[in-house]
Amino acid sequence: MAEIILQGVSKSFGPQVALADVDLTVPDGAFVVLLGPTGAGKTTLLRMVSGLDQPDAGEVFIAGQAMKGLPPAQRNVAMVFQQYSLYPHLTVRQNMEFPLKSPLLRTPKEAIAAKVAEVAEILQISHKLDNKATALSGGEMQRVSIGRALVRSPSVYLMDEPLSSLDAKLRADLRIELKNIQANLGATFLYVTHDQIEAMTMATHVGVLDHGRLVQFGTPREIYEQPVSIYAAGRLGQPHINILPADLFGPAPHGAVYIGMRPEQIRQGEGQDALVKRVERLGDQTRLHLAFKAHDLTTVIDAHTPLRTGDIVKIEPHRPFYFDADGARMV
Amino acid sequence: MSYSITEPSSRQKWIAGILVVGYALLTLLPLVWIIATGFKTPADAIAYPPKVVFTPSLEGYVNLFTSRSRVTPEDLAALGPPTTWYDAIVRQYDMVITGPSRYGERFMNSVIIGFGSTFLSVFLGTIAAYAFSRFKVPLKDDLLFFILSTRMMPPIAVAIPIFLMYRELGLSDTHLGMILLYTAVNLSLSVWLLKGFIDEIPIEYEEAALIDGYTRFQAFYKVVLPQAATGIASTAIFCLIFAWNEYAFAVLLTSGTAQTAPPFIPTIIGAGGKDWPAVAAGATLFLLPIMVFTILLRKHLLRGITFGAVRK
């Protein structure tokens, strides 16, 4: 419904640089996930788009319109906050009606009731509608919070780790539900998460932020298979990518300092000996913690492997990544 | 903050209960005495040893609300039998009622000035506290300290300048003048108390409301204000208690039209003999509005007093 464009957006809080010259285009109808550790500027970026904070430099456009100076109410964005931000003095129903009753929308009564009932159904909170917002569990609060965003039809949805406080089952349900909603509405989502599954399954695009800089932007597959740096490679992948000295397995390309291998880039049964330190059985997969020439690395093996601590396996790199001294990928 | 893990034993509960009841009795005793004195006859009121059991009488209340004058027994007899029960009480003392006393007016003045200044203090205090809590106000800390510093001396220390100022401005003995004065004194308390309450309300609520399509003022009105209700209620009680009970400025600045009840009540004593029951009756009635107000806001007050002591 709307394209979001950030042009050269910078923001500092005192000496702390939160965003540094970020250029980002979120295509209309895209589901963009922002990845990065705490402090990378993900939330700040959302706040720039929402209008809760103003950039020090640069411009934000939503649907082709410059947003400079526009208050949040006039940007037609919905936002789900990381902390539950339900109005504690209102009931669940009143919370969900709140945006619809705003002077901006002035929705007719019947339409409000219908919309709230519909969204409550999706989020499985119909039976809680008349509870006080404070009488809910954390997961329920967060669902109401999402519901408050969904009752509207804004041009852009901004979500700041909306599923992080939910249990695994509900998270999986809502993941699919949010994705469906996004697909049905054709809405533009800008979504912050730490969760790799959310990023991989929901995103049409992933943006990787590092200390306020957008270091890579592409499809989840691109980020996973063609990371631009050690940092970007480290954002996705369970278990984590193994970063080792480049020449550990033999001669490395000129200038390479590190070799990076995801589990599928470690071929087992050939190459050199590694010692099994620990076998971690997760059910659907089994992780092998190996010691190789005084370095630790982790890989994945068949769930029913007979390997045990103290066994020896042969490993060799299979189409690994090489990185230079700065951590940038060498192609 | 630490909590004891074990439930108090029943013996501990008993001891705590006895202490609380004992303390309550101790603080309530003067109050009970005042209320009882209001229903005594003047003779019972000064009896020695003090009378705990007595025949109740409404003399104090009749004297409080009426002006009376003494007449000779012959004139009294000429008047014929008393027409009302309060006439009958007064005539026992060879007196007749000549009209209402000024207590009613003074009481109303207290209501107007007390509630007026409380409303104004809380209203101004809330918006000032919101601004201090949420906006980047230049010299914020200095301003807040300055506001607090107005409470660092007894207000009566500036009585003479205020007296002169009020005379020049024509505010002496006016309702407006007293409302402004009490508001000025209460405002520092009100700003500081309310700032604490508003600081406690996470800013995310307003941000959510801004995104939900509301302006800042609407967000303040719809989201912040309802959550600050507890703070506003307890602040209002503190402000009202000060304005209601204030004596020194009331004596100094009011004499006629705007005189409040506190300077009026002692003047009852002077009217021939020491009429303690009438004074006690005046004090008892004077207590009522603030008691009612406090009981109405009790639910909020409890949280207001323990504010900051309990982490949510």
Q: Which domain holds residue B60?
A: 42-101
| B7 part of a folded domain | no
Residue B301: both structure tokens together: 């007050």
Q: Is the peptide bond before B42 cis (omega within 30 degrees of 0)?
A: no
- Report yes or no: A94 at the B interface, CB cutoff 8 Å: no
Residue A79: both structure tokens together: 């936002």
Q: Please determine, for residue B3, whether its predicted confidence score (pLDDT) is greater than 50.
A: yes
- Chain B, residues 170-229, CB within 8 A of chain A, namely 202, 204-205, 207-216, 218, 223, 226-227
The mean pLDDT of chain B is 88
> Do B90 and B161 fall into the same domain?
no
> Do B216 and B132 fall into the same domain?
yes
> Do B163 and B294 fall into the same domain?
yes
Indicate the pLDDT class of residue B146, thresholds 50, 70 and 90: very high
Q: What is the CATH number of the domain that holds B192?
A: 1.10.3720.10
Q: Is the peptide bond before B49 cis (omega within 30 degrees of 0)?
A: yes
Give A105→chain B minimum CA distance, Å. Answer: 8
Q: Is B160 exposed, middle or buried (0-12, 13-18, 19+ CB in 10 A)?
A: exposed
Could you give the CA distance from residue A305 to residue B189 in angstroms, rounded to a whole number?
Answer: 72
Nearest CA in chain A to B225: A89
Give A121→chain B minimum CA distance, Å. Answer: 21
- Report yes or no: A193 at the B interface, CB cutoff 8 Å: no
pLDDT of residue B86: 87
Give B125→chain A minimum CA distance, Å. Answer: 22
Q: List pLDDT tens digits, range A74-113.
A: 888 999 988 767 888 899 999 999 999 888 778 888 889 9
Quick check: B211 and A72 CB within 8 A? yes
> Do B166 and B233 fall into the same domain?
yes
Nearest CA in chain B to A46: B211
Is the distance from CB of A309 to CB of A247 less than 8 angstroms? no
Quick check: A99 and B213 CB within 8 A? yes
Task: Closest CB to A73: pick one of B202, B215, B227.
Answer: B215
- Report yes or no: A85 at the B interface, CB cutoff 8 Å: yes
Nearest CA in chain A to B228: A89
Is the distance from CB of A56 to CB of A41 less than 8 angstroms? no
Section A143-149 average pLDDT: 88
> Do B69 and B216 fall into the same domain?
no
> Do B84 and B131 fall into the same domain?
no
| B286 part of a folded domain | yes
Q: List pLDDT tens digits, range B85-139.
A: 888 888 888 888 888 989 999 999 999 999 999 999 999 999 999 999 999 889 9
> Do B301 and B156 fall into the same domain?
yes
Q: Please determine, for residue B140, whether its predicted confidence score (pLDDT) is greater than 60.
A: yes
Quick check: A103 and B214 CB within 8 A? yes
> Do B186 and B243 fall into the same domain?
yes
The count of C-alpha atoms lying within 13 angstroms of the C-alpha of B257, restricted to the half-sphere facing its C-beta, is 8
> Do B65 and B183 fall into the same domain?
no
Is the distance from CB of B124 to CB of B179 less than 8 angstroms? no
> Do B87 and B207 fall into the same domain?
no
Domain boundary among B101, B125, B152: B101
| B67 part of a folded domain | yes
Give A22→chain B minimum CA distance, Å. Answer: 23
Q: pTM score, two decimals?
A: 0.79
Number of domains chain B contains: 2
Could you give the CA distance from residue B123 to residue B120 in angstroms, rounded to a whole number?
Answer: 5
Contacts of A52 in chain B (CB under 8 A): 207, 210-211
| B203 part of a folded domain | yes
Complex-level ipTM: 0.81
| B28 part of a folded domain | no
Cα–Cα separations (whole angstroms), residue A27 to A62, A92, A162, A192, B175: 10, 33, 21, 16, 65
Q: List pLDDT tens digits, range A22-36.
A: 999 999 989 999 998
pLDDT of residue B311: 37
- Report yes or no: A157 at the B interface, CB cutoff 8 Å: no
Across A199-231, b (16+ Cβ under 10 Å) vs e yields bbebbebbbbbbbbbbbbbbebeebbeebbbbb
> Do B250 and B265 fall into the same domain?
yes
| B21 part of a folded domain | no
Q: What domains are defined for chain A?
A: 4-234 (3.40.50.300), 242-330 (2.40.50.140)
| B145 part of a folded domain | yes
Q: List pLDDT tens digits, range B18-54.
A: 999 999 999 999 999 999 999 998 888 888 888 888 8
Indicate the pLDDT class of residue B308, thresholds 50, 70 and 90: very low
